[in-house]
Amino acid sequence: MNQPSPLRVLVIGYVWPEPRSSAASGHVMQILDTFLQEGWDITFASPAGPGEHKADLTAMGIREVPIELNSESFDTFVRELAPDIVLFDQFMMEEQFGWRVEKHCPDALRMLETSDLQSLRHARHQRLKERLKASDDANDFTGLFAPALREEFERMADTDLARREIAALYRCDLNLMVSEVEIELLVEQFHLPREVLHWCPLMVDAPAGPAKPFGERAHFLSIGNFRHAPNWDAVLWMKNTLWPLIRARLPSAQLHVYGAYTPPKATALHNAAQGFHVMNWAEDALQVMSAARVCLAPLRFGAGIKGKLVDAMLCGTPSVTTPIGAEAMHGEHPWPGAIACTAEDLAAQAVQLYENESRWRNAQALGDTLLAEHYRRSTHAAALIEKIAQCRQNLQTLRRNNFIGGMLRHHSLKSTQYMAQWIEEKNRNKLHADQ
């Protein structure tokens, strides 16, 4: 009996994955690995140039194809590839290429991977800026951390970014969401059909062996890509407010701050005398996390879930964060460390975890439980493959039921198409003129 041909998957990435630089890329790599385990034929395409820490997809058996924006060359490429599934990594790629995929491969399942809702993150950033402008208090941010979903919607709804992002979600057949909070926001406030949203958080395996014990660890650690605005804001809050409070209680304490793409403004914060060490990029994030006693993640805004905090659990490292940092990450389970809203409480909790071995070991055990029950790779990988199969089997019904998505594709993709074709023609005329 002939075996069925493997599914052909095209992934269109905003950037080439850099799993050692960002949790977003790590999530994409986990999805790619899930597809590879199914024996699917994968092509990864991107209009971006390769980054400094780009993963070697070719070594994994994945084709790498550079593509161009606003170019009919993509039409030929996608028509010849004839993918069964197209996964857009970030909504801007759906805007750019979605209409071309629909035109040339109408039966392909169109999926969107969202590491976080960008419009939610930007709305929260704006709220923080307003709070900082209105008050000199750099300590208490309780009011920022528990808004109702309706309040989040009202801050997002009038922005162009939200209109673009939510429209892209509607236009896709399936959207992979890392945050259950964001799923509820989209369903309850933006009225997306629940069946086009699938919870797919970070997918990890249990640690291979026991984590380093309390006595073999030292120092505090903070880690995150400096290009990600929430991470940079957290570093500034630590430097100016949180870390001086910790040092007042632990005068010999040391904080190691790691991050990819360290800018000069971050390097300038390095001060060994204050125990504040800017360490640049970590070659092995799990190695440095495993050596630290406590992970600090004082995020004042953001969205999605936080890869650094999953890494902390994998390494058995208790973490201290805010409600924004822990959002959608632990369900009904206790947090493996501490959650606080003020700099004083964050500092106090961090010092207690650092000094109290019994509490530290309990937090480590809570992390093991949370990993097993919330992030198990095999559970989420199987659920993702099953959801994709259901969508492909019922694709026409799914699209018919998502009337708003079809309406948006009919209208907005026409405008996107005509704009792209206008740019394409402009570029062609410029090339001819230059010759």
Give the pLDDT of residue 412. Answer: 62
pLDDT in tens, 152-161: 999 999 999 9
Q: How far apart are CA 204 and CA 408, in angstroms?
A: 36
Give the pLDDT of residue 143. Answer: 86
pLDDT of residue 415 exceeding 90, the answer is no
pTM: 0.93
pLDDT of residue 37 exceeding 90, the answer is yes
Structure-token match 């019904």, residue found: 397
Q: Is the distance from CB of 338 to CB of 316 less than 8 angstroms? A: no
Cα dihedral 261, 235, 230, 379 sign: positive
pLDDT of residue 420 exceeding 80, the answer is no
Catalogue the long-range contacts made by 386-389 (C-beta closer than 8 Å, 24 or more residues apart). 387/174, 387/198, 388/85, 388/109, 388/111, 388/174
Q: Provide mean pLDDT across the span 101-122.
A: 96
pLDDT tier at 416, thresholds 50, 70, 90 = low
pLDDT in tens, 272-331: 999 999 998 888 999 999 999 999 999 999 999 999 999 999 999 999 999 999 999 999
Instruction: Provide, rounded to the nearest whole percent, the portion of the chain with pLDDT above 70.
Output: 94
Average pLDDT, the chain: 94
pLDDT in tens, 40-68: 999 999 999 998 889 999 999 999 999 99
Structure-token match 């650690």, residue found: 221
pLDDT of residue 1 exceeding 60, the answer is no
pLDDT tier at 20, thresholds 50, 70, 90 = confident
Say which residue, 375 or 420, is predicted with more confidence: 375
Give the pLDDT of residue 410. Answer: 82
Phi, psi of 53 (to 5 degrees): -120, 30
Domains of the chain: 8-203+378-434 (3.40.50.2000), 214-375 (3.40.50.2000)
Give the pLDDT of residue 373. Answer: 95
Give the pLDDT of residue 414. Answer: 61
Q: Which of the residue ranges 198-202, 286-290, 428-432 would you say has the lowest mean pLDDT?
A: 428-432
